[in-house]
Amino acid sequence: MAGEDNGELESLDELVEEPAAETEAGIGIETETNQWETSYGDQKVPCLLLDRSLKIVRSNDSFAQLFGVTKDLPGTYFTRFYSPFFDDKKSSELYRSVLSADNGYSWNGKIEKIGRDELLNVFKVWISPVLPAPPTAGPGASTVPPGAYSAICLDMTDEYRHLLNTTFQSLLGAARLKDNDTGNHIERVNRYSHVLAESLLGHPDYHEVDKQFVDAIGLVAALHDIGKIGTPDDILNKAGPLEAWEWEIMKQHTTNGAYILSTYPNPMAREIALRHHERWDGSGYPHGLSEDLIPLCAQIVAVCDVYDALRMWRTYKEPYTHERTLEIMIKEKGTHFAPSLIDRFLAVATQFDRIFAELLDAQ
């Protein structure tokens, strides 16, 4: 491929060619641009004009308002703009589709991208020729690839978030019917998780934490014990300590939770359910992972869940004060919990105490 910006598409060189000033049929890109401007320039629907290699030529105002970008768009590959959603495999599939007469030189699908609000946005995209590809002359005539494409991008984010929330509420309702923990415990863990994750924003050791991460964990942390749906009631609600065999059954709630959440749209929920009982020193369950092999989202929820469990009244223990809880958790630094995460927890611990007081369980 010509040009210097080809790092993402080196494996696709055989599929993509730079557009010439005139197509084989003699239709210039200027003609295609004028047609696109007439059809989409003033439309409320966000739309891009792409050349034959799927580089962005122009965007309409609706697209610019959606993403807040205009200056750097021209010359950017469509797949690069929507990176990292488009990996090499997805990029190859896209190019093969728009270069295929059998597909009508078109492609449609769902695309994800972090939007101006720094949260995940979901789009339904249609890519199709600006003008119909004209036939070549002579026996066995066939069509040639179009000179330019339009990419219509419909924002489906509200519908996507509604689907996530509806599924979440259904799962949460099932969990509350089964577990003897209160709804306040679930809400507290959500709020603790949001506070602790937010405290990691911009921290050099936690590059994966962004606004999307914070927003997600503040919702799906509530599903950490969803797997208890599969735990027998006599074990789940036992007043005293569990026998060894009962404890083995109880620990299965992690793998059960991962199974239940395996198709949940946000994979963070599954990771939390499966890994929130792993320990920094490798002595946790279900798989004895240690240190950074434990997903950060699960490490965060582990801190929050343990804090709340210590503060709560249980049939087998009295509630601990905030100060006593901190003493216990500090002793677990480097064993149960990551040292740096406990340091961040201590920095925001007063917020945990305040959340616990605001959402105190009725005795």
11: its two tokens:
């494996």
Phi, psi at 273, each rounded to 5°: -60, -40
- Compute how many other C-beta atoms are within 10 angstroms of the C-beta atom of residue 208: 10
- As a whole number of angstroms, the distance between CA 192 and CA 57 comes to 46
CB contact at 8 A, 76 and 6: no
Active-site entry in 44, 113, 211, 228: 228
CB contact at 8 A, 88 and 12: yes
CB contact at 8 A, 322 and 277: no
- As a whole number of angstroms, the distance between CA 361 and CA 363 comes to 6
- As a whole number of angstroms, the distance between CA 8 and CA 279 comes to 38
- As a whole number of angstroms, the distance between CA 85 and CA 121 comes to 11
- As a whole number of angstroms, the distance between CA 114 and CA 214 comes to 13
Phi, psi at 47, each rounded to 5°: -150, 150
Kindly provide the b/e burial profile for residues 87-107, where b requires at least 16 CB atoms within 10 angstroms of the residue's own CB.
eeeebbebbebbbeeeeebeb
The 3-state DSSP class for residue 146 equals coil
Please say if 228 is a catalytic residue.
yes
- For every residue of 162-196, DSSP letters joined together read HHHHHHHHHHHHHHHHH-SS-HHHHHHHHHHHHHH
**What is the number of helices (H) and of strands (E) in the chain?**
15, 5
225: its two tokens:
């014990």
H or E element in which residue 235 lies: helix 233-236
Cα angle: 239, vertex 242, 244; to 5 degrees: 170
Rg (Cα) of the chain, in Å, rounded?
27
- The set of catalytic residues is 228
